[in-house]
Amino acid sequence: MSSCDGRIVVITGAGGGIGRDEALLFAREGARVVVNDVNAEGAQAVVEEVRGFGGEAVANSDDISDWDGAGRLVQTALDTFGGLDTLVNNAGILRDRMFVNMTIDDWDAVMKVHLRGTFAPTKHAVTYWREQSKSGDQRVARIVNTSSPSGIYGNIGQANYGAAKSGIATFTQILGEELWRYGVLSNAIAPSALTGMTEGLTGFKDRLDEIEARTGWKNPGGPENLVALVVWLGSPLATVNGQVFNVRAGHISVAEGWSVGPAYEKEGPFEVAELDGVLPGLVAKAQPQTNAYGVPKTYGA
């Protein structure tokens, strides 16, 4: 048996990039896949790829940031395949600018696709899973969200995207705490892959070129190198919950997130002058904030 035999999987933003490779691998692992993308032609092309090797798939072009559209997406899985087991929230856009040049439209567009576009399909899916659980037919359900290194570690020029992806990471954790009683596990990936969205990030491309030169690994930044983690998280094999995983070429790690560091406590209220003598020392004792590669960040004074 393959890891996802008979499972029904919905993937948003699957007409290209990481979503496409997620759809292909889920199908190869035995899943029946709903390929969602607002680019209907792209979604249908992925469906044809899946059918070309004997898999089962159907296209859906609804806007997942639209409440009714997200509902129709979930209903497509129910009507076509008779249920839903895994939701992969992958759809996303970039509107990168330095913050001083960022417009309200840049902000709103990213928040709509990433946050509303994660919430709406998830809410419809969870409503179905809760009803199934209450009727005594609890499914082995999985949510796989897509955060980003920008959302966990920050990245210059991506205040909107990083804020949205950070929200998705926290959303993932909270769902993990709330939904397990209905048979639903919630996890996320923070992927680094070379796709149409990231091809302009020269620093990342330089790292990939170094890996290729050192190892001979062709196209290490290809999204096909990342999606095994998504399929595992979306399968019954996964027992972890509420976690975010960094994933890039040849690397998977647990993103440990915020944790309570060095502390100062007293009985009674704080004074401003008192804190001036305490807080710099606390920060100096704390673990440094790092980028996605573990390199400590330097903030200008």
CB atoms within 10 A of CB 105: 9
For residues 246 and 292, the answer to whether their CB atoms sit within 8 Å is yes
CB atoms within 10 A of CB 38: 19
Among candidate residues 3, 165, 166, 186, the one labeled active-site is: 165
For residues 22 and 11, the answer to whether their CB atoms sit within 8 Å is yes
pLDDT above 70 covers what percent of the chain?
A: 96
With 0-12 CB in 10 A as exposed, 13-18 as middle and 19+ as buried, what is 202?
A: exposed
Distance separating alpha carbons of residues 37 and 92, to the nearest angstrom: 10
pLDDT above 90 covers what percent of the chain?
A: 82
One-letter identity of residue 112 = K
Among candidate residues 161, 166, 186, 192, the one labeled active-site is: 161
Asked if 165 is an active-site residue, the reply is yes
User: Each residue of 167-220: pLDDT tens digit?
Assistant: 999 999 999 999 999 999 999 999 998 765 555 555 667 777 787 888 888 888
pLDDT for the residue 204: 67
User: Average pLDDT for residues 64-71, to the nearest whole number?
Assistant: 98
User: Average pLDDT for residues 102-116, to the nearest whole number?
Assistant: 98
Q: How far is CA 184 from CA 26, 72, 231, in A?
A: 18, 21, 15
Backbone angles phi, psi at 242, to 5 degrees: 75, 25
pTM metric for this prediction: 0.92
Among candidate residues 3, 65, 147, 148, the one labeled active-site is: 148
Is 38's pLDDT higher than 70? yes
User: Average pLDDT for residues 147-165, to the nearest whole number?
Assistant: 95
Averaged pLDDT of the chain:
93
- Given the candidates 3.30.160.270, 3.30.70.260, 3.40.50.720, 2.50.20.10, the CATH classification of the domain at 8-254 is 3.40.50.720
For residues 19 and 90, the answer to whether their CB atoms sit within 8 Å is yes
Distance separating alpha carbons of residues 127 and 136, to the nearest angstrom: 15
Indicate the DSSP class of residue 111: H
CA atoms within 13 A on the CB side of 228: 8
Backbone angles phi, psi at 60, to 5 degrees: -145, 135
pLDDT for the residue 275: 96
- Cα–Cα–Cα angle for 126, 130, 134, nearest 5°? 175
Asked if 218 is an active-site residue, the reply is no
CB atoms within 10 A of CB 97: 15
Is 81's pLDDT higher than 70? yes
What is the Cα Rg of the chain in Å? 21
Is 118's pLDDT higher than 60? yes
For residues 278 and 264, the answer to whether their CB atoms sit within 8 Å is yes
One-letter identity of residue 45 = A
Band of pLDDT at residue 93, cut at 50, 70 and 90: very high
Is 20's pLDDT higher than 90? yes
User: Each residue of 239-280: pLDDT tens digit?
Assistant: 999 999 999 988 999 999 888 999 999 999 999 999 999 999
Band of pLDDT at residue 11, cut at 50, 70 and 90: very high
pLDDT for the residue 182: 98
pLDDT for the residue 293: 81
Distance separating alpha carbons of residues 232 and 234, to the nearest angstrom: 5
Query: Rounded to 5, what percent of the chain is helix, strand, coil?
Result: 45, 15, 40
Asked if 293 is an active-site residue, the reply is no
Distance separating alpha carbons of residues 80 and 94, to the nearest angstrom: 32
pLDDT for the residue 34: 99
| Nearest in space to 9 (alpha carbons), one of 27, 40, 33, 41 | 33
73 membership: H or E segment, kind and range: helix 67-81
One-letter identity of residue 205 = K
